[in-house]
Structure 1
Amino acid sequence: MGVPRVYCACPVCEEARSGGTNRRYRSLVRLEDEGTGTLLIDCGPDWRRGMEAAGLRQLDAVLITHAHFDHIAGLPEYADMCRWLGRRGTAYAMPDTIEEILVRFPWLSRQIAFVPIGGEPAFGGWKAFCWKVNHGKNGHAYAYRFDHALTGRSFAYCSDAIALSDEELEPLRGLDVLILGTSFYEEPYAFESRSVYDVREALALLERLKPGRTLFTHMSHDIDVGRDYGLPAGTAFARTGQTITV
């Protein structure tokens, strides 16, 4: 839902409403290097505001993790940008995700070429691996792992997942950077009703995965980024507009 939430007057939402550090857009990653150009992972409803804040007027491609509103609602505005620039956009996704997007927005294919992911596509020097992950009560999503052919560096983006099996966890091992979704510090609801790890569960997971660095994203208004949660070294909450180097 982003932060602040329209209906909420909790301290985190009020601090965010005043322009504070808790103001958060829906989860999105911008990958920028000489080989990839401007590549986004997901295109949610805050896409336009994010593009404006970053000073971007165009982009080269989008990768979609799954077809939920908070990850695809910016696609119509992306398509409109492509129309006015006189160019065709590109969006990569798994075939079932593309099918779901085009059921909702069939006209998007006039401006955006939807490319099914097969094998391990390359984006500049990065080789990408996409795999299905459990999204709890919300079905499934996909995660992305990127390995750089020259530097040997690696990172993964897994924004919407919970209760991952050993097989689903395997691509998250041996990473330099892990970006992982966590909605609450300790989610108080029945496990079977949930769809994303909470922070305490994620910290236990990190003891197994041992990434070099971890950023938690997809956070609800339960998380106050100004508070000291005693996170271990190399682990932090993502900030809106934050830039990191892999």
Structure 2
Amino acid sequence: MDRLTFLGTGDSMGVPRMYCECGVCAEARVTERNRRFRSAAMLHTNAGSLLLDCGPDWVAQMELLGERRLERALITHPHHDHIAGLPEWFDACRWTERTGTVYAPGIVFETIRRQYPWLERRLAYIPNDEGIEFGGWRITPWEVCHGRNGTSFAYRFEKGEYRWAYCSDSIRLTEQQKKPLHGLNMLVLGTNYYKEEAAPETRSVYDMTEAAQLLLEVQPKLTYFTHMSHRVDIDAGYPLPVGVALAYHGLSVPLGR
């Protein structure tokens, strides 16, 4: 059966924060229960694996999997915490004389080309605006609100009767943007905090209380929260809706009935 493995469940700065002595960061340095690499995941299929985002912790995440080679990746948006591992992947391809394949909407590649103009020597860019097929999955992107950070892309995966979505960076979704979240067996959703107190205009990702309201609308059968900050304690026992859990790095979940 196909599986999704969480390689990172942290926000843009990860956990622990270098400067921070809060309880979550202190615990993460000792037991690592709350240690969080930047958000990423790996889809495993009989046709091979597909990385979801390639951030600055990419090498450590590959070590977590015991992998020395990456063939393909799917990018949600061109922010540092989602693409900063691409130069290291390029370097791995250069030394092993291989070419990696990167899928993303065309507008995402525009930014990546400006930031890393040399990567296409070893990474082949494939625009996926109209969707792609991989491992029997139909994978379709759609643009979502990312608050003060502009927009991001989420992905809906469909294979047979099983449907799931990966939406790591979003907030204040419009009714149109919510539509692909309906009818899901599983949703992976970014939630920075349990309850965030920052001014609304400064925010870019749902908190868990807001996400709970979204889930009432779209009603996935199972939900995993990711993209969590150092203010989230995985052992805190937050009052979450039935069928909702906090993801952690190394967690592997089956994709199918």
Partners of 1:99 and 1:82 in 2: CA distance: 21
Runs of 4+ in structure 1 over 4 Å off = none
- The answer for the alignment partner of 2:4 in structure 1 is none
User: CA offsets, 1:198-246, max 9 Å, x none?
Assistant: 0000011101111010000000011000111122221011111110001
Counterpart of 1:11 (choices 9, 23, 35) is 23
Q: Tell me if 1:25 matches 2:32.
A: no
Counterpart of 1:124 (choices 130, 135, 148) is 135
- The answer for the alignment partner of 2:14 in structure 1 is 2
Counterpart of 1:34 (choices 16, 30, 46) is 46
SS at match of 2:101: strand
User: CA offsets, 1:180-205, max 9 Å, x none?
Assistant: 00001111011111000000000111
In the alignment, residue 24 of structure 1 is paired with which amino acid?
R
**Shift of the alpha carbon at 1:102?**
1.0
Partners of 2:203 and 2:133 in 1: CA distance: 34
**Shift of the alpha carbon at 1:130?**
0.3
Counterpart of 1:67 (choices 78, 87, 93) is 78
In the alignment, residue 22 of structure 2 is paired with which amino acid?
C
Partners of 1:63 and 1:120 in 2: CA distance: 11
User: CA offsets, 1:134-160, max 9 Å, x none?
Assistant: 000000000000000xx3111100000
Counterpart of 1:49 (choices 60, 76, 80) is 60
Specify every segment of 5 or more residues in structure 2 that has no aligned partner in the other structure, as ranges.
Answer: 1-12
Partners of 2:169 and 2:116 in 1: CA distance: 22
Partners of 1:118 and 1:139 in 2: CA distance: 18
**Shift of the alpha carbon at 1:96?**
1.1
Partners of 1:80 and 1:152 in 2: CA distance: 39
**Shift of the alpha carbon at 1:60?**
2.2
SS at match of 1:244: strand
- The answer for the alignment partner of 1:210 in structure 2 is 219
- The answer for the alignment partner of 2:196 in structure 1 is 187
Counterpart of 1:226 (choices 235, 246, 254) is 235
Partners of 1:77 and 1:20 in 2: CA distance: 25
In the alignment, residue 172 of structure 2 is paired with which amino acid?
A
Q: Give the % identical residues.
A: 50
Partners of 2:129 and 2:143 in 1: CA distance: 13
Q: Tell me if 1:201 matches 2:213.
A: no
In the alignment, residue 106 of structure 2 is paired with which amino acid?
P
In the alignment, residue 195 of structure 1 is paired with which amino acid?
S
- The answer for the alignment partner of 1:105 in structure 2 is 116
5 Å-filtered alignment, 1:57-96, equals 57-96=68-107
Q: Tell me if 1:152 matches 2:164.
A: no
Partners of 2:29 and 2:134 in 1: CA distance: 37
5 Å-filtered alignment, 1:165-184, equals 165-184=174-193
**Shift of the alpha carbon at 1:79?**
0.8
Partners of 1:53 and 1:120 in 2: CA distance: 29
Partners of 1:51 and 1:38 in 2: CA distance: 12
> How many equivalent pairs are there?
243
**Shift of the alpha carbon at 1:105?**
0.5
User: CA offsets, 1:79-111, max 9 Å, x none?
Assistant: 111112211110011111101011011011111
In the alignment, residue 36 of structure 2 is paired with which amino acid?
R
RMSD: 0.8
User: CA offsets, 1:8-49, max 9 Å, x none?
Assistant: 1000000001132100000001000103x1100100001000
Query: Residue 71 of structure 2 contacts residue 99 of structure 2 at CA under 8 Å; is this kept in 1?
Result: no
In the alignment, residue 40 of structure 1 is paired with which amino acid?
L
Partners of 2:115 and 2:17 in 1: CA distance: 25
- TM-score normalised to the size of structure 2? 0.93
Query: Residue 104 of structure 2 contacts residue 129 of structure 2 at CA under 8 Å; is this kept in 1?
Result: no
